[in-house]
Structure 1
Amino acid sequence: MKINLYGGFGEKGRLGVGISTTATKLLFDIGIKVGATGRDYYPLIEVDAIAALDAVLISHAHEDHVGGLLWLLEQGFQGRILMTAETLAETGQTLKNYAEQRHLENVAFPQERIELFKAGDMLTIGDAEIMTGRSGHVAGGVWFCVEAEGHKVLYSGDVVPDSPVLEMDAFPVCDLLLLDASYGADAVSGDTRAQQIREWILQNRDGCLLPTPLSGRSLELMALMPVNFAIHADMRAALAEQIAASGALRDGVAGRLKQFLHNAQGWREDQALPRCPLLTFDAMGRAGPSAYAMTRALRTGWPVLLTGHVPEDTPAFDMLRDELADWIRLPTHPTLSGMVSLWEQAGKPDMLGHSCSAALLRELAEHIPVVRQDVKSGDMIELGEA
């Protein structure tokens, strides 16, 4: 079995993992790298490898996991495309925000080719058996465990083992774990960060902006809100679908979020800024309503709180650099205790950390010694005979 690290290793963004047997070639995720340009925007998979793929499986609809789908099709991909219904519902908006304009204009979204599955389904593609489970990161988000040729390889996509909102399924024991290591060895708990965000919101309760991804973190922010809030009007339907997603939320959470969403004030760009906290998408101010809202916040001196990854060459990065925005991480990836727990759950296998820098991996290896630090995007690993 071969594992190709096409993107997301030693870096944040452009996730792409190839898992191949002698008979079957699979690609897990096809993301883009925010802030990059040209060929660096996409995973390092070449045209001949793309043509040989049997299928691409998408873990969820964030840009670093699905933003390169139209590019993949332009490069000649003819295989199967598999994702959950929730991921499909959000992929169009992600591509609108992050696909290159020439792809949006010239590459038709292949709706008729999409094959839907549910988290928890067992998939069979060629000689590979693929277990799936809920990721805890977004509604409809999944991890994948591939069993073939006597090996089990688990690719986690983005996961959150201790989300107070979204459920995550336990990992099976595997031989190699490709784990979401976005935060490196950050040991600050989600509860602590959530309380810090609540306090910031209370200090700015008469008006502030919280840019957020349309899926995942938006629900987490809604759940911790200590005061009434507003959302961009175009978020309402998508948030309602996420809340209604079967089995996605922890027990008792859906009813509370439905009420929060019902009470949330709607806002559009032609209206005055609301006198309460406002959620808009996307999280980086590069696309969607946040691109306008962050500019308006700058003009008016409105407080802005960033709560996630802030890539270079984005409006969010510029504001943070110039001390025009605050930053408190709301964990939507595993913190240190969560990563250690997931690694132990998987049987303490060999491990690769994705979605983080080499420096963060070095820190993580002090706590999980088997984390490999000698690999990067573009590398290939071959598992020996069972």
Structure 2
Amino acid sequence: MSVRVHILSGLDAKAPAAIRIDVKGRTLLLDAGGPLQADEPCDWYLDQSPDAILITHDHVDHIGAVRWLPETIPLYCTPTVAQRLPAGRRWHPLPRQGTITIEGINITCGLAGHSLDGIWLHLDIAGGIFYSGDFSFESLLYPFDRPPRAALALLDASYGLYSVDQSHCRDALQAKLNRASLLPVPPSGRALELALWCQTLELPWTFDPACQKFHAALQGLPANLLKPGIQQQLAQLTPRPWDTPENPDLALIRLAADAEGVAGEAGRLISDPDYTGQVIYTGYTPPKARADITSGRAEWCRWNVHPRLPCIQSLADTLQAEQVIPLFCPIDAAGWQAALGKRLRLDHVIHL
């Protein structure tokens, strides 16, 4: 069986995810990512007419180009991810944990530990092709399911060769939270992880209405989407009221959308001269966030939501992968060669 894997976008850059698989005269598209910033170029989708589209999770760099592809193409995703599709877009369910046959190919799915209802994909062809989407082993909320063996592994490497353990990230962040602080966060991601962490440390904290809404929704979802005991912990969260007045002696931590610090309560507070708390970004920094950091208005302290290098190496070992392609980061070829050895592949097109 001849299989062709074409990385349309996502290799050697923090770029939208799009991987084309051609097998037995049929074509699957794994993810349909759009640009992280509206003014960034994105044209990988031109002239693409796959037989089916499979979406791993609902972040814009994995789902944002769906709107540019023909609506007649069958699209598969999990139910929570479907809520982020363009209005009226038809879809078919992917199992969160199980196997489905699409275009004659058996595809196994498992939870990827990065986002709500986000999954990895394993195609039972050519000795196994594994695509991680975005994944993490370190989430407080989301579990990661062990995948089956795969000869080829296409792995999230958004942090490149970075290897700092989450415990060190938490220690670094905690050391900064000695006065009033605003942490711009995505409501569906780091917001609730940080809330759980703050509560465990008995720090004074609150979150904005956008995060409160997601918190309420999460408690009504199936328990297996979260790590054991997390639903109970979420139900026991006790945030301060969002409208709690600023008090220098309180050192209140505010978790607020949006993560880019442009809109929502985070954007409002950053631009409010009367808000004197510090601003700490903990994730991806788009131009607005970088400008805030450069000007001294904000700091940056990472909270891991993507894999560290040891996590990538561990997953490659678990898969018993013969070929490994690191995705979603600029490539340091020498560094990756040292990390993965003869397993490393950096080709846009691979024939199996």
Superposition TM-score, scaled by structure 1 size:
0.82
Q: Establish whether residue 343 from structure 1 lines up as the match of residue 312 from structure 2.
A: no
- 1:123-162 to 2 correspondence within 5 Å? 123-148=100-125, 150-162=126-138
Q: Which residue of 2 aligns with 1:254?
A: 231
The correspondence for 1:71, drawn from 58, 68, 89, is: 68
Structure 1 gaps, min length 5: 93-107
Q: Distance in 2 between matches of 1:288 and 1:109?
A: 23
How much does 1:362 deviate?
4.0
CA contact (8 A) 1:54 1:80 kept: yes
Q: Distance in 2 between matches of 1:370 and 1:240?
A: 47
Of all paired residues, the percent bearing the same amino acid is 24
Q: Establish whether residue 367 from structure 1 lines up as the match of residue 339 from structure 2.
A: yes
How much does 1:43 deviate?
5.2
Q: Which amino acid aligns with 2:185?
A: T
Q: Do the aligned partners of residues 85 and 304 (structure 1) sit closer, same or farther apart at CA in structure 2, a change above 3 Å counting?
A: same
The correspondence for 1:189, drawn from 165, 182, 201, is: 165
The correspondence for 1:238, drawn from 202, 214, 217, is: 214
Q: Which residue of 2 aligns with 1:381?
A: 350
Structure 1 stretch displaced more, 139-148 or 190-199: 190-199
Q: Which residue of 2 aligns with 1:15?
A: 17
Deviation by residue 1:121-173 (Cα, 9 ceiling, x = unmatched)? 2111112111000001112010001123x431111011112323321001211
How much does 1:218 deviate?
1.8
Q: Which residue of 1 aligns with 2:259?
A: 283
Deviation by residue 1:306-342 (Cα, 9 ceiling, x = unmatched)? 111213xx21111122232111111111112211111
Report the structure, 1 or 2, having the larger helix content.
Answer: 1
Q: Distance in 2 between matches of 1:43 and 1:138?
A: 26
SS in 1 for 2:147: coil
Q: Distance in 1 between matches of 2:197 and 2:33?
A: 29
Q: Which residue of 2 aligns with 1:54?
A: 51
Q: Which amino acid aligns with 2:92?
A: E
Q: Distance in 2 between matches of 1:280 and 1:273?
A: 15
Number of aligned pairs? 343
Q: Do the aligned partners of residues 61 and 299 (structure 1) sit closer, same or farther apart at CA in structure 2, a change above 3 Å counting?
A: farther
SS in 1 for 2:67: helix
Q: Which amino acid aligns with 1:169?
A: D
Superposition TM-score, scaled by structure 2 size:
0.89
Q: Distance in 2 between matches of 1:118 and 1:86?
A: 12
Q: Distance in 1 between matches of 2:95 and 2:205?
A: 32
Q: Which residue of 2 aligns with 1:31?
A: 33
Q: Which amino acid aligns with 1:152?
A: G
Q: Distance in 1 between matches of 2:43 and 2:106?
A: 25
Structure 2 gaps, min length 5: none
Deviation by residue 1:61-92 (Cα, 9 ceiling, x = unmatched)? 111111222122xxx34211111122223x16
Q: Distance in 2 between matches of 1:256 and 1:124?
A: 37
Q: Distance in 2 between matches of 1:321 and 1:372?
A: 36
Q: Do the aligned partners of residues 70 and 322 (structure 1) sit closer, same or farther apart at CA in structure 2, a change above 3 Å counting?
A: same
How much does 1:299 deviate?
6.3
**Aligned-CA RMSD value:** 2.3
CA contact (8 A) 1:243 1:249 kept: no
Q: Which residue of 2 aligns with 1:166?
A: 142
- 1:81-100 to 2 correspondence within 5 Å? 81-89=75-83, 91=84
CA contact (8 A) 1:362 1:373 kept: no
Q: Distance in 1 between matches of 2:239 and 2:275?
A: 26
CA contact (8 A) 1:139 1:245 kept: no
Q: Distance in 2 between matches of 1:322 and 1:196?
A: 21
Deviation by residue 1:169-227 (Cα, 9 ceiling, x = unmatched)? 012110110001111222210111112222222x12xx211111222222221121131
